[in-house]
Structure formats: structure tokens, C-alpha cells
Amino acid sequence: MKTNKLKYIILSLAVSTIALVSCDNDLLETVPNDRLSVDVFWRTETDAKLAVNGLYTDLDSTNIISWDALTDIAHTNQNFDVQAYIELGTYDGTSSKVLGEWRRAYRGIRATSYFLENVDKVASTNTALINQLKGEAKVLRAYQYIKLAAFYGDVPLVTSSITIDEGRALVKSPVSAIWDFIDKELTEAAALLPTTYPATDKGRVTQGAALGLAARANLYAGRYQKAADAADKVMKLGIYGLYESYEKLFTYAAENNKEVLFDRQFIKDTYPINVFSILAPYSQKNGGSAYVPTKALVDMYETLDGKLITDAASGYNPATPYANRDTRLKYSVFLDGDILPSGIAFKPAPTSGTADAVGSTYIASTTGFNIKKYIIADDYANPVNSGINIILLRYAEILLTYAEAKIETGQIDASVLAAINAVRNGRNDVKQPSVTTLSQTELRTIVRRERTVELAFEGQHLFDIRRWKTAEKVIPGPVYGITYKDASGALATVQVVSVNKTFDVSRHYLWPVPQKERDLNPSLTQNPGW
């Protein structure tokens, strides 16, 4: 049974709120009910712990998977989903998806800022504890700013609680200033945080998470030396490593393993998540197939001898497309013939006559592929009551960040090859041939492909193809899916009906500032092209 304190965030805060309201019959009715009142809170270490626990509820969860569906490697399955319009390029600042990510981030920023403004009111001689809690809050705030900078570019830099009137007068800060702030926050936080916690506090932000996010942020910002240095610090902590099984990495058995630097923690019944019902194939108790893999992703996985399937010497056979392939493919994507959580075989071909057949219903995958990560047989009985943690940062990303940053700075040495090859063959069930080339051009291509296949459906690819400036090349065009034998026995490839992904280089490298925010605050200027 899981015992992690963070999984009882909602329950704990609810109980504490009731206790605060009922502890004194003389409390005035004017005590605000939308925030923690300084008159009755911020008195004890327990208050501080409960307050910082609540900050974790603003972290991302399944929405990170949706970001990949805005790229070439996945697709938003239902064409009436609001983010389907982003794929088609027919969106603007009125998009609820664009607004939702903005508001989620700033909600988290406000909460963390409020915490940092008030935590020193707690009467405590345990300076280490208070500093730890401050460090957690700083990391959680920096995490939100990383997203904002990556999605929108220039955004308001808010570091304290503000009034409504102040909010209506905010102006955007240059994205360079946002990256500066993020790096400063994470550096300060790393010095305040422990490297590990007792089992009862697993899931709290660690020093490794702070350094790891600094590596990510600086890679996004193109500050490659800083990214390499931060990643190197994580590696030298000596407490992280690759989990031995990629197949089991996204299951209950692997929770809180040595590869996880940062995650969003859940627990069945008490604080569940509905990831199974969102992603599972339709045959699995009406699984939603909300976001589905594409042929573009599947084709990126090498053969077991390290060749691309486009290589004439690879032995690739389109009639048996999944044979002799990088094992991460079958661990990440449901493929034809796979056994599903219910015990039946996955048969997505339009001619299969199954519930998962392409075209059988608008909910079944339109590509014939489904995401396998996080879809666990244990959750089949109650698909909306999963307790699986959603990983937000893991060690494989650190290794690839280190390698990419060193490649971009021209510092190509044995450590670069070691980092890439650890991801390629450092697990018991992933054994791709080692890379030996020292060519910057070749290594750049290799590390980008490794990031794509290793971190598929983990929310990184959209930001990667934006910073690589390859989005305009890989996104536009039809969406393709499985290759199967049609009624005549000939091979046919699924093409998703009425979908032609669009990417306008003049404006789609940044999302627009949400129109509702600009209506409230005319001082917020719009991004170029919008």
C-alpha cells in the first residue's frame, strides 16, 4: 500500500480547513473563504507543511500527453476536441486550450508566491525544515514558468501576490528575463533541498529535481553550457540511474524508482487519476483513445541492429512492420496482436471487426495505434480510479540533455557517447547498438531521435521541435496510421480522414496570449502573427 503523504493533499487540506473554522466559535464570519487567513493559519510547522502540500495540486498530469498530440508523433483522436483545432491551425487567442494552460500555470505561480510571502510567519526554530519548504515552493513556481516561456515566450513575471488592479496593469517581460529568473530560482532552491527523503515523504521536490529542471530550462533557452553543467550535477549526485526495465517503467511496480526525479503523485480512491479511461483502446471499457500515436513516430524506431527502416539493408518488411524493432516501440505503443489489459488481443485493422477497428466508432483510434504507457491491467476494473504517478522528469532525460548540450557546444567526448548509449542499451530490456561517431551533425540527429522515441508521450516533443526549429518540417500534412491487409489481401496504410496538420512558421512557434487575459488587461501585447 502506498503511504506517501503527498497523495493525501486534498484530504489533509480539507480536514485542516474544517478544523480551523471550527476551533473557535468566536471567529468572525468575515474570515476569507478563498485563501488561508493569516489570523488563523501560518502558526505552526504543520501549517507550513500543509500549505506546501497544497502547491503540488497545480502540477501537470495527463495534460502533458496532450502536448505531444500537437506534434508529428501523436494525434488528437476526436476532431471536435478543442485542441484538434490547434493541429489544424484554425485557432487563435480565444482557444480554451491556450487559455487553460496559461491559467493553470499562473494559478500555481500565485499559490507558490503566497506561500513564500507567508511561511516566515510560522514560529519555528527548525530552520532546515522551513528552508526545505521554501525550496519546494521555488521549484514548483519555476516549473510553471518553464511551461509559460516554452508555450508563449514573453510573459508577465510575477513573483508576489498581486491585487486585481495590479493584475490588470501587468506587462510582459522578455523571455530571456523569464529564463534568468527560472535559473536563479532553481539554483537557490537546490541549495535548500535535500537529495532524498524518508519513504513517507517520497514525491517531494528534491535537490535533484531542482537541478534537473534547471538543465531542462537552460536547454529550452539554448543556454547549452548551463544545461550541461546542471545535468552533470544531477549525474554526479550518484543517486539516480536508469530503471532496469523500460517495459515496467510506467507501472505501479516502478513507482518512486531511481530514475524518477519529479512526478505528480496519485493514489486510488483517495486522490485518483483517470489516465486509463483517457488513453486506453476503446475495447477496454470504452477507453477514450483521446491521443493516439502516429505512423511518423512508429517509423522512427530503429531495427534491433540500429538501422532506420528506410535503410535498404535494415531488412524492414512492411508486411510485418513491428518485427525486429527497438523494443521501446512495443513498450510505448499498443501494436496489432498485443494483449490488452482485459486479456483480449488488440486488433485495430479496419477489416478486423473488433471494437478497436479503425472506423468502427469515432472513439476508436483513428490511426490504429494506442498509447501503452500508463495503461495497466490493475486499473482495468475501474478505469477512472488509477493511482499511477505521472512522471514529469526522469533520469533518461537528464542524460539526453547532457549529451545534446555538449553536442551543441562542440564538446564531444566519451561522456557524450556514454550518456546516449546508456539510454540506448543501459536497461535489461532495451539493447540498441552503441553509437560511436564523433560527428556533430550525426550526433545531433541521433540525440534528437533518441529524445523523440525515449520520451514519447511525456510532454517534451512539442517544445523540442520548436527549439530545434523543425516543427514547420515535421508537423504539416496528413496523419497516417497502421499498415494492414485490406479485403483483397493487399497492403494498405490508414490515413486519418479530414485531417491535415498545419504549422505556420510566421506565428505557430509561439502560442497567442489568451484573448480573455488581454480583455482584462489591454497592457498585454499579443505575440507576433496573432
Tell me the C-alpha distance between 276 and 285, whole Å. Answer: 10
Q: Where are the alpha helices (DSSP H) in 261-350?
A: 275-279, 295-298, 328-332
Tell me the C-alpha distance between 216 and 234, whole Å. Answer: 12
Number of domains into which the chain is organized: 1
> Does residue 137 fall inside a structural domain?
yes
Residue bearing cell 504507457? 373
Q: How does residue 394 score in pLDDT terms, banded at 50, 70 and 90?
A: very high
Tell me the C-alpha distance between 524 and 172, whole Å. Answer: 6
CA nearest neighbour of 492 among 352, 349, 324: 349
Q: What is the pLDDT of residue 40?
A: 82
* Burial degree of 294 (CB within 10 A; 0-12, 13-18, 19+): buried
> Does residue 285 fall inside a structural domain?
no
42-93, pLDDT tens digit by residue? 999 999 999 999 999 999 999 999 999 999 999 999 999 999 999 999 999 9
Domain CATH for 150: 1.25.40.390
Q: What is the pLDDT of residue 33?
A: 57
Dihedral of alpha carbons 411, 417, 423, 427, sign: negative
Query: Which is it for strands 260-264 and 477-485: parallel, antiparallel or unpaired?
Result: unpaired
Q: What is the pLDDT of residue 80?
A: 92
341-376, pLDDT tens digit by residue? 999 999 999 999 999 999 999 999 999 999 999 999
Q: Which amino acid is at 46?
A: T
Residues of the domain holding 216: 5-23+33-58+96-265
Q: CB-based contacts of 81: which residues, under 8 Å, 6+ apart?
A: 290
> Does residue 457 fall inside a structural domain?
no
For the entire predicted model, the pTM comes to: 0.93
Q: What is the pLDDT of residue 36?
A: 57
pLDDT > 70 in the chain, percent: 93
Rounded to 5 degrees, what are φ and ψ at 359? 90, -5
Q: What is the pLDDT of residue 355?
A: 98
Tell me the C-alpha distance between 262 and 522, whole Å. Answer: 37
Residue bearing cell 514547420? 472
> Does residue 91 fall inside a structural domain?
no
The pLDDT of residue 313 is above 70: yes
460-486, pLDDT tens digit by residue? 999 999 999 999 999 999 999 999 999
Tell me the C-alpha distance between 409 and 421, whole Å. Answer: 19
Q: Which amino acid is at 63?
A: N
> Does residue 287 fall inside a structural domain?
no
Would you state the cell numbers that stand for residue 477, as one nine-digit string?
A: 500534412
Would you state the cell numbers that stand for residue 488, as one nine-digit string?
A: 483483397
Which residues make beta-bridge pairs with 483? 493
> Does residue 338 fall inside a structural domain?
no
Mean pLDDT, the chain, rounded, equals: 93
Tell me the C-alpha distance between 442 and 477, whole Å. Answer: 26
Tell me the C-alpha distance between 196 and 479, whole Å. Answer: 44
Q: What is the pLDDT of residue 30?
A: 45
3-state secondary structure of 390: strand
Note whether 358 and 364 are within 8 A (CB).
Answer: yes
Q: How does residue 389 score in pLDDT terms, banded at 50, 70 and 90?
A: very high
Tell me the C-alpha distance between 342 and 495, whole Å. Answer: 28
The pLDDT of residue 241 is above 50: yes
The pLDDT of residue 512 is above 80: yes
> Does residue 364 fall inside a structural domain?
no
Would you state the cell numbers that stand for residue 154, as one nine-digit string?
A: 514573453
In three-state form (DSSP H/G/I as H, E/B as E, the rest C), the secondary structure along 91-120 is: CCCCCHHHHHHHHHHHHHHHHHHHHHHHHH
Tell me the C-alpha distance between 140 and 112, whole Å. Answer: 7
252-285, pLDDT tens digit by residue? 999 999 999 999 999 999 999 999 999 999 999 9
Q: What is the pLDDT of residue 213?
A: 98
**Which residues in 120-158 are b (16+ Cβ under 10 Å) and which e?**
eebebeeeeebebbbbbbbbbbbbbbbbbbbbbbbbbbb
Would you state the cell numbers that stand for residue 337, as one nine-digit string?
A: 496482436
Ramachandran assignment for 343, one of left (phi > 0), alpha (psi -120 to 50 degrees), beta (any other):
left
Note whether 346 and 339 are within 8 A (CB).
Answer: yes
415-444, pLDDT tens digit by residue? 999 999 999 999 999 999 999 999 999 999
> Does residue 212 fall inside a structural domain?
yes
Q: How far apart are the first and last CA of the chain?
A: 50
